């Protein structure tokens, strides 16, 4: 499965099967985490067989059967730390999708204090990404949780402001950004295209806006056929030649 297909197939999953993740997959995930931490100066940690913070009682009934998660940890003084959490965390989510595993970002509905994760004084544990084996078909409860969230999902025109003719690759980028997960499905990111440049911005009113920005930027990059983003609110995209 390529990255574009992974974006189109991914959906948040909240009910996990009692099946351990293979050692070979864990090795791949460890390597991916190491690479994210090295590239972005993050301190993401992989936790296997530790689902206590996400039990029904501690997740307001949102999750069941969770055994594994990534603890998404950033440096407190990194001005674009949240955005990196989003961008690199979503690269892990898409890897999980390609490996046939389900996942879900978790910012609120878990017990952070029950996480057995060491966090240094100069670091912040921002959120988690749970993952594991899931049934192909979503359970009734999973669908019921999604229904109110998905009702307000945005379209390309809602996320793109254009002041000139828009090249096809920009529309393709936004087509994939529309599929990006976001806290409470708020989809707060807006892409701006003036004919020469593309930028991405959030109002920054909500706790996870900058994380959502990083996630949407990665989706745009994949949809646009490759390129590089400047980190930062309003950062510019350079398309690959």
Interface positions with ligand FMN (CB under 6 A): 11-12, 14, 62, 104-109, 127, 149, 181-185, 208, 211-212, 215
Query: Strand pairing partners for 72?
Result: 127
**Shortest distance (Å) from residue 212 CB to ligand FMN:** 6
> CB-wise, 187 or 199, nearer to ligand FMN?
187
> CB-wise, 193 or 209, nearer to ligand FMN?
209
**Shortest distance (Å) from residue 196 CB to ligand FMN:** 30
Phi first, then psi: what are they for 116, rounded to 5°?
Answer: -90, 75
Q: Which residues contact 43 (CB under 8 A, 6 or more apart)?
A: 37, 73, 74, 75, 120, 123
**Shortest distance (Å) from residue 177 CB to ligand FMN:** 12
Give the pair of three-digit tokens for residue 118: 């060491």
In this structure, are residues 68 and 49 in contact, taking their beta carbons and an 8 Å threshold? yes
In this structure, are residues 84 and 214 in contact, taking their beta carbons and an 8 Å threshold? yes
Which H or E run includes 16?
Answer: none
**Shortest distance (Å) from residue 188 CB to ligand FMN:** 10
Residue nearest to ligand FMN (CB): 181
In this structure, are residues 67 and 50 in contact, taking their beta carbons and an 8 Å threshold? yes
Distances, alpha carbon 69 to alpha carbons 55, 157, 207, 233, in Å: 13, 34, 21, 28
Helices (H) and strands (E) in the chain, counts: 7, 9
> CB-wise, 89 or 173, nearer to ligand FMN?
89
> CB-wise, 54 or 191, nearer to ligand FMN?
54
> CB-wise, 129 or 198, nearer to ligand FMN?
129
Give the pair of three-digit tokens for residue 12: 């948040």
> CB-wise, 178 or 224, nearer to ligand FMN?
178
**Shortest distance (Å) from residue 8 CB to ligand FMN:** 11
> CB-wise, 208 or 229, nearer to ligand FMN?
208
If 0-12 CB within 10 Å is exposed, 13-18 middle and 19+ buried, where does residue 226 land? exposed
What is the Cα–Cα distance from 82 to 202, expressed in whole angstroms? 13
**Shortest distance (Å) from residue 25 CB to ligand FMN:** 21
């Amino acid at each position: 499965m390529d990255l574009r297909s992974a974006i189109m197939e991914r959906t948040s999953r909240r009910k996990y099967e009692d099946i351990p993740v293979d050692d070979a997959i864990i090795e791949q995930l460890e390597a991916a985490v190491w690479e994210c931490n090295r590239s972005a100066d993050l301190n993401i940690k992989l936790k296997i067989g530790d689902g206590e913070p996400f039990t029904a009682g501690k997740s307001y009934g949102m999750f069941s059967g969770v055994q594994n998660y990534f603890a998404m940890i950033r440096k407190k003084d990194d001005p674009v730390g949240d955005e990196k959490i989003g961008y690199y965390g979503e690269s892990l989510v898409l890897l999980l999708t390609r490996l046939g595993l389900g996942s879900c970002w978790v910012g609120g509905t878990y017990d952070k204090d029950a996480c057995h994760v060491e966090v240094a004084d100069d670091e912040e544990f921002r959120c988690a990404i749970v993952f594991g084996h899931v049934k192909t078909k979503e359970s009734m409860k999973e669908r019921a949780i999604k229904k109110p969230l998905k009702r307000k999902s945005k379209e390309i025109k809602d996320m793109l402001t254009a002041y000139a003719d828009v090249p096809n690759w920009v529309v393709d980028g936004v087509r994939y950004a529309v599929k990006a997960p976001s806290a409470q499905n708020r989809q707060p990111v807006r892409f701006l295209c003036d004919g020469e440049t593309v930028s991405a911005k959030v109002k920054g009113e909500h706790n996870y806006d900058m994380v959502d920005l990083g996630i949407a930027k990665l989706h745009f990059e994949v949809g646009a056929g490759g390129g590089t983003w400047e980190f930062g609110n309003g950062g510019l995209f350079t398309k690959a030649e």
